[in-house]
Amino acid sequence: MRQSARILACALIVFAGGARAQEARSLVAMQADSHRQMAAASLIPTLRGRWLHADHKLVVGRVQDVRVSQDGHTLIAVVARRRWLGGGEIGIPVPRLRQRDNDLTVSGTRDDIRQAPVIGP
């Protein structure tokens, strides 16, 4: 019985030490976050499903989603990269995207696209 009480006491100490208060956020910061979320949501119907091309008409993949970056400052287009370019989902900052005729483009070579970090499966 004493041993189970000790284990319970140790578990409570460990879990209590891991609990932290959330950092205080200003109303201005929360409003900025909501504006970025709304901007991302408004771009989804426009960009989702579109093919993304790089330099020399290289087909990078299809836009799957638009999200706010982890730092909260940039909108990111989530692109399902073609398998022969490395596969997986990569994030391309929306300000880097351009509309050329009817094509959605990003500046970059085949090696640039292959070296882009994967953000999803």
Please state whether 73 falls in left (phi above 0), alpha (psi between -120 and 50) or beta: alpha
Tell me the average confidence (pLDDT) per consecutive run of 10 residues in the chain, 121 residues long: 51 48 59 76 87 93 91 89 91 92 91 88 59
Question: Model's pTM, two decimal places?
Answer: 0.69
Half-sphere exposure for 15 (CA within 13 Å, toward CB): 6
**Quick one: 75 exposed, middle or buried, by C-beta within 10 A (0-12, 13-18, 19+)?**
buried
pLDDT score recorded for residue 77: 93
pLDDT score recorded for residue 10: 47
pLDDT score recorded for residue 73: 83
Q: How many residues comprise the chain?
A: 121
Domains of the chain listed by start with CATH number: 38-121 (2.30.30.240)
